[in-house]
Amino acid sequence: MIKEKSAHRITQLFRKKNEDSKIMSLFLTAGYPDLESTVDLILGFEQNGTDMIELGMPFSDPLADGPTIQYSSNKAIESGITMDGIFEMVRGVRKQSEIPIILMGYVNPVMRYGVEDFCKEASDAGVDGLIIPDLPVEESGILEEKADHYELPIIYLVAPNTSDERMRLIDEKSEGFVYCVSVTGVTGARDGEEVSKSVARFIERVKQNITKNSTMVGFGIKSHEDAEKIARDMDGFIVGSALIETIRSNYPDEGWMDEVFAFVRGLKYGNN
């Protein structure tokens, strides 16, 4: 059940969305490229057109992550990121911004931290929702009760291999939006042409079965043009790997953040 406090940033976002622009959510690994930059990056993303943040909790065994996100996770782990460090980052953002922040991570570190403590800390810090890709909706009971208590909606994923019936179950269980994974497989920038073809049938099924929640599409989007094609019938889109690649190829050169923000503006508005 969504309650007033934490879920309201997500609900508000979709409520105030206007017809002709898409919600843009960016995925960033917490602590990448270094511990100091995460807060400034998030604030800069917001100033450059980003509507929502998915903050990745680095994990050594990330089964759905492609090579780019694995690379950023490893770097963040090397730089000494901790769960408490991530909550601290969220607090840092919350001092200056109301941008919706979703924590994305695997179930193992959450269990290790303690489900209740994790939900409490996340909620206190100002997190608005959770994405746990290796937690199937059928087994979400362990987390759901605590997440619910601390007013943290769990956002579930659907993919092309998700049946119609399961899509409907996920729609029923979700609050806010459903994450539509455009292709089966791991994260990572792909050929846009290829994605938009195979995705058409999937989007059709999403439209038929996900009726209660807003829809965000992710996996393989690397440009404004990709987003326009793939997210045409969705409320918004998510970019991860292409953003991390842009950070990777500019950091730590002088002015690297400005290059990254220019890329972010291009994603949202196009380059002309």
Q: Calculate the alpha carbon distances from 189 to 182, 242, 262 in Å.
A: 12, 6, 18
Quick one: 109 or 220, whose CB is closer to ligand IGP? 220
Which residue out of 46, 51, 54, 121 is catalytically annotated? 54
Pairing of strands 236-239, 157-158: unpaired
Quick one: 152 or 239, whose CB is closer to ligand IGP? 239
Q: Is 54 a catalytic residue?
A: yes
Which residue out of 46, 51, 65, 121 is catalytically annotated? 65
Quick one: 28 or 119, whose CB is closer to ligand IGP? 28
What is the DSSP track for 141-165? HHHHHHHHHTT-PBPPEE-TTS-HH
Query: Rounded to the nearest whole angstrom, what is the least distance from the CB of residue 201 to ligand IGP in the complex?
Result: 19
Query: Rounded to the nearest whole angstrom, what is the least distance from the CB of residue 158 to ligand IGP in the complex?
Result: 11
Quick one: 174 or 187, whose CB is closer to ligand IGP? 187
Which residues of this protein are in contact with ligand IGP, per CB under 6 A?
27, 54, 56, 64-65, 69, 104, 133, 187-189, 218-221, 238-242
Query: Rounded to the nearest whole angstrom, what is the least distance from the CB of residue 199 to ligand IGP in the complex?
Result: 13
Query: Rounded to the nearest whole angstrom, what is the least distance from the CB of residue 200 to ligand IGP in the complex?
Result: 18
Quick one: 96 or 184, whose CB is closer to ligand IGP? 184
Tell me the Cα Rg of the chain: 17
Of 233, 226, 242, residue with least CA distance to 193: 226
Cβ atoms 5, 151 nearer than 8 A? yes
Of 262, 244, 263, 257, residue with least CA distance to 28: 244
Which residue's Cβ has the minimum distance to ligand IGP?
240
Quick one: 93 or 243, whose CB is closer to ligand IGP? 243
Cβ atoms 66, 183 nearer than 8 A? no
Tokens of 137: 């909706």
Cα torsion through 191, 194, 197, 200, rounded to 10: -60
Q: Is 65 a catalytic residue?
A: yes
Overall residue count recorded for the chain in this entry: 272
* Gap between the Cα atoms of 114 and 98, Å rounded: 27
Query: Rounded to the nearest whole angstrom, what is the least distance from the CB of residue 28 to ligand IGP in the complex?
Result: 9
* Gap between the Cα atoms of 146 and 136, Å rounded: 16
Q: Which residues, including other chains, have CB under 8 Å from residue 180's CB and lie 6 or more apart? A: 157, 158, 159, 202, 203, 206, 210, 215, 216, 217, 218, 234
Query: Rounded to the nearest whole angstrom, what is the least distance from the CB of residue 57 to ligand IGP in the complex?
Result: 10
Catalytic residues: 54, 65
